[in-house]
Amino acid sequence: MHALQLNFFLDWRRSPRDILRDWQGLSDVAIAAAEGGARISVVQSCATPATVSEHGVDFHFIPPASRGTPLTRTRAFTRLLAQLAPDVVHVHGLGFPREVLDLRTLSPEIPILLQDHADRVPRFWRRGPLRRALEKCSAVSFCARAQAEPFRGAGLLGPQVEVFEIPESTSSFQPGDQAAARAATGIRGDPAVLWVGHLNANKDPLTILDAVSIARRRLPGLQLWCCFGSAPQRAAVEARLAAEEGLGECVHLLGNVPHEKIELLMRAADLFVLGSHREGSSFSLIEALATGLTPVVTAIPSMRVLTGHGAVGALFPCGHAHACADALVRAAQSLQPETRGRVRAHFDAQLSHRAIGRRFAEAYGRIHGGAPAAPTAA
């Protein structure tokens, strides 16, 4: 089985090597699918043409003819598509209907799978292209099946399009010695709680701060460590910390932290917390699970699936500080020496390269040959 994975999103600034380094999901999904038994090739829109081979996967970087022109209308792409002759095509994202329709014209018989990456239902007057593109597809994968419902409700996803429940990506992070990680990072706390996410309304740091304020009455040693990139709510966060005596002493704003240090921070912490109202998948949650870190996260569809519906960690409703505080306390009080091993075992079974690769390989086989797909976790 030869699957061609396509990413049409164009980053004019990054080189091919930088893209592979910075876009973990691009390489992780490709390598995972290869480990699942499929032959994988990748085409990535890029300003600089190149071919890079890593872990048995060929990554082809192709520049568009011009800004605004679909990559599928370049000679380089059409030649490569004919040369590779894939059995199935896997398109990253639901936001490229023109390219999907071009693919159907170029290869009328090839099965197409689209992978959701936190895509939203378009405005009513913009739904036509996506509806026509989805009519030409065999399947769509979402992290959680529930994420397909808005598209069905909008009349975009018909019954002829199969829906697969497959996490958006995986991680190469590993568990490690907590004491050594604490010494290397300076993390402390009983429990030490880690946040990795932007300081914005969707991630909802203000609810988490309210929860920490409540939880520290029962967990006086609690320390919250916050890693973030963009921070439109930073002023509001700092105002909240200043408004309550002692809260600022147990909350540490680390800012933008290099990705390689996140793994150490996750090894050093006791709990991972995030207040997201919406996620396609949470890459930081997947990384936390890979290190064996116990999550305390919102009960949105993707996070329910990623945690095995609360089989590891604790879930709480979006925006509910008291429920989050209770979840933090429960999770902290349930920590045992074997907890990290149990969380990592869940990751290995459901979210590892091998597990994700197996699911994609099953999906490719299903849409190519019509064989029944193996059941995925609901």
In a domain, 108, yes or no: yes
What is the CB neighbour count within 10 angstroms for residue 349? 12
More confident residue, 24 or 213: 213
> What's the confidence (pLDDT) of residue 132?
96
232 assigned to some structural domain = yes
Which pLDDT belongs to residue 262?
97
Side-chain-side CA neighbours of residue 149 (13 Å): 5
Domain for residue 375, yes or no? no
C-alpha 182, offset from chain centre: 26
Q: What is the mean pLDDT of the chain?
A: 94
115, 144: one domain: yes
Residues 155 and 216 in one domain: no
Looking at the domain assignment, is residue 194 inside a domain? yes
Q: What is the CATH number of the domain that holds 202?
A: 3.40.50.2000
Residue carrying the six token digits 């914005």: 200
338 and 359 in a single domain? The answer is no
| In the predicted structure, residue 372 carries a pLDDT above the cut 50 | no
Assess contact for 19 and 342: CB atoms under 8 A: no
11 part of a folded domain: yes
pLDDT of 152 higher than 60:
yes
Cβ pair 299, 275 in contact under 8 A: no
pLDDT for residue 378: 32
What is the rounded distance in angstroms from the CA atom of residue 78 to the CA atom of residue 165? 31
Residues 207, 132 share a domain: no
Same domain, 183 and 216: yes
- Is residue 306 a part of any domain in this protein? yes
Same domain, 297 and 253: yes
User: Which pLDDT band holds residue 370 (cuts at 50, 70, 90)?
Assistant: low
The 57-62 sheet, strands edge to edge: 50-54, 57-62, 39-46, 2-11, 88-92, 112-115, 139-142, 162-165
Average pLDDT over residues 295-300: 98
Q: Which of 42-56, 194-208, 286-300, 357-371 is predicted least confidently?
A: 357-371
Question: Do residues 199 and 76 both lie within one domain?
Answer: no
Do 152 and 192 have their domain in common?
Answer: no
- Of residues 38 and 236, which shows the higher confidence score? 236
Does residue 185 share a domain with residue 36?
no
pLDDT tens for each residue of 236-271: 999 999 999 999 999 999 999 998 899 999 999 999
Same domain, 232 and 359: no
- Predicted pLDDT at 375: 36
The domain in which residue 17 lies consists of 2-170+353-369
User: How does residue 377 score in pLDDT terms, banded at 50, 70 and 90?
Assistant: very low
> Is the residue at 109 inside a domain?
yes
HEC string of the chain? CEEEEEEEEEECCCCHHHHHHHCHHHHHHHHHHHHCCCEEEEEEEECCCEEEEECCEEEEEECCCCCCCCHHHCHHHHHHHHHHCCCEEEEECCCCHHHHHHHHHHCCCCCEEEECCCCCCCCHHHHHHHHHHHHCCCEEEECCHHHHHHHHHCCCCCCCCEEEECCCCCCCCCCCCHHHHHHHHCCCCECEEEEECCCCCCCCHHHHHHHHHHHCCCCCECEEEEECCCCCCHHHHHHHHHHCCCCCCCEEEEECCCHHHHHHHHHHCCEEEECCCCCCCCHHHHHHHHCCCEEEEECCHHHHHHCCCCCCCEEECCCCHHHHHHHHHHHHHCCCCCHHHHHHHHHHHHCCHHHHHHHHHHHHHHHHHCCCCCCCCC
Instruction: Count the residues in the chain.
Output: 378
- pLDDT score for 11: 81
Question: Above 80 in pLDDT, residue 376?
Answer: no
Residue 18 structure tokens: 């930088």
pLDDT digits (tens, 9 = 90+) for 111-126: 999 999 999 999 998 9
% pLDDT > 70, the chain: 98
Return d(Cα 378, Cα 366) in angstroms, integer.
18
46 and 193 belong to one structural domain: no
Amino acid letter, 10: L
Q: Identify the pLDDT of residue 67.
A: 75
- Tokens standing for residue 357: 């690769």
Residue with structure tokens 């060929």?
A: 58
**pLDDT value at 38 more than 80:** yes
Task: Assess if residue 360 is contained within a domain.
Answer: yes
Looking at the structure of the chain, the number of domains it has is: 2
Give per-residue pLDDT as tens, 74-105.
999 999 999 999 999 999 999 999 999 999 99
Distance CA 191, CA 220 (A): 9
pLDDT band, residue 371 (cuts 50/70/90):
very low
Q: What is the pLDDT of residues 14-34, one digit of tens each?
A: 999 999 988 888 999 999 999
Q: How many CA atoms lie less than 13 Å away from 371 in the CB half-sphere?
A: 9
pLDDT tens readout for residues 330-341: 999 999 999 999
Residues 119 and 196 in one domain: no
Supply 40's token pair. 């994988």
Q: Looking at the whole model, is its pTM more than 0.75?
A: yes
User: Tens digits of per-residue pLDDT, 63-76?
Assistant: 988 777 899 999 99
